[in-house]
Amino acid sequence: MMDRNDFIAKFGGVFEHSPWIAERAFDHGRIAEPLEAEALHEALCAEFRLASHDERLGVLRAHPDLAGKLAIAGDLTEESRSEQAGAGLDRLSPEDHARFTELNSRYMRDFGFPFIIAVKGHTEDSILAAFEARVDNDPETEFETACAQVERIAGFRVAALLAEE
């Protein structure tokens, strides 16, 4: 069995800057070997869902803006950089970048956390369409939508980490 420190070192970043989720999943006995993507993802998501509203909000706030300041400065986590690049967000035209910046600002003002979408399988246009649709959601709906997207991102990250083995 993978020990606690090794498990957290490997899977602590599945939820952006929130290793406490992996810690709790391990400590609560949710982790069983052999590690399988679906079971591991569900174990981590169970801890995320059991967390307080403020803890879940903290996870949302740990995510970077899409095509935002961190991306420009090169300060994204490797996972976020790769995910955003895969959707073409590292190659936006100045006009598209301005639109993302405008939407990011409005979204952050209205919801208090950045717009989150699992970009895998999306294009710049489909992300922008989702962004424009979701920016008009009510806060409760958007909180739940963002949490669901965080769980999707975690699923992609778990699968990628297990594929490395």
Cα gap 164→33, rounded to integer Å? 16
Strand locations in the chain, DSSP E? Answer: none
- Of 28, 53, 63, 97, which is the active-site residue? 63
Q: Is 21 helix (H, G, I), strand (E, B) or coil?
A: helix
- Work out the angle at residue 120's Cα, subtended by the Cα atoms of residues 117 and 121, and round it to the nearest 5 degrees: 110
Structure tokens at 95: 């006009």
Going by C-beta distance under 8 Å and a sequence separation of 6 or more, which residues neighbour residue 14?
21, 22, 44, 154, 157, 158, 161
Cα gap 132→136, rounded to integer Å? 7
Cα gap 159→163, rounded to integer Å? 6
**In the annotation, is 63 catalytic?**
yes
Instruction: Tell me the catalytic residues.
Output: 63
